[in-house]
Amino acid sequence: MKHVVIFGRHPKLGCVKTRLARKIGPVEALRFYRYTLTTVIRRVSAGQSWQTWVSLTPDKAVIDRRICPVKVGRLLQGAGNLGDRMARCFSRFGHDPVLIIGSDIPDVGQAHIAAAFDALRRSDVVFGPSNDGGYWLVGMRQGKLAGPLFDNVRWSTKYALSDTQKNLGLGLRVAMLSALADIDDGADYAAWTGTKR
């Protein structure tokens, strides 16, 4: 069975997209995040060849039915930094192929997910890079392969992808997908909204 896990935060005023909120205000940042989270969940969960899961922090957020439709599975992220939580998520799936995607990637769709799983037929690891040096998707042919993949990664910096790649074990085959916009700040938001006009 193939799995897609959407990682995100509970959409609560003042707790999401704080860098973006400095430019467009906390209410508009929350509105954007809610829209993106629900759109990504709806699009990805419509895929018939994989199981979709939602994993929000804090853990109690996954019981909110307004966010998580009935057909979507729910996973707790648990404690620790982002790397700890992602490694724990991958390990839950053992021998199955699994993708983790961000919840603030408004242009992600089923074709991107299908391309990632297709890449894992020939590779052990797949990344969907973002233009800021991070990544919007990371996937493993087998969840158990994650190991120390996320150790000592400088999250929310231009080094996130390169730090993660340095942790890859020898002999692992890596595939790269097309870059997608990760909307973190005002400049990202302006660039993305400009493409929608």
User: What CATH number does the domain containing 183 carry?
Assistant: 3.90.550.10
Q: Quickly list H helices, the chain.
A: 18-24, 26-45, 82-91, 110-119, 160-166, 186-195
pLDDT at 182: 87
Bridge pairing between strands 98-102 and 135-140: antiparallel
pTM: 0.93
State the Cα–Cα distance between residues 145 and 172, nearest whole angstrom.
Answer: 9
Locate 80 and state its tokens. 């620790």
**Nearest-angstrom CA–CA distance, 18 and 63:** 24
Residues 6+ apart with CB under 8 A from 110: 43, 44, 46, 47
pLDDT at 195: 66
* 32, pLDDT greater than 80: yes
Query: Residue 171 — pLDDT band, cuts 50, 70, 90?
Result: confident
Place of tokens 């074990």: 169
pLDDT above 60 for 8: yes
Q: Range of 86's domain?
A: 3-195
Burial class (CB in 10 A: 0-12, 13-18, 19+), 8: buried
Q: What span, in angstroms and rounded, lies between the C-alpha atoms of 186 and 99?
A: 28
Q: Please calculate the CA angle 49-172-108 and round it to the nearest 5 degrees.
A: 40
Structural domain tally of the chain? 1
Q: What's the rounded Cα separation, in Å, for the pair 33 and 12?
A: 9
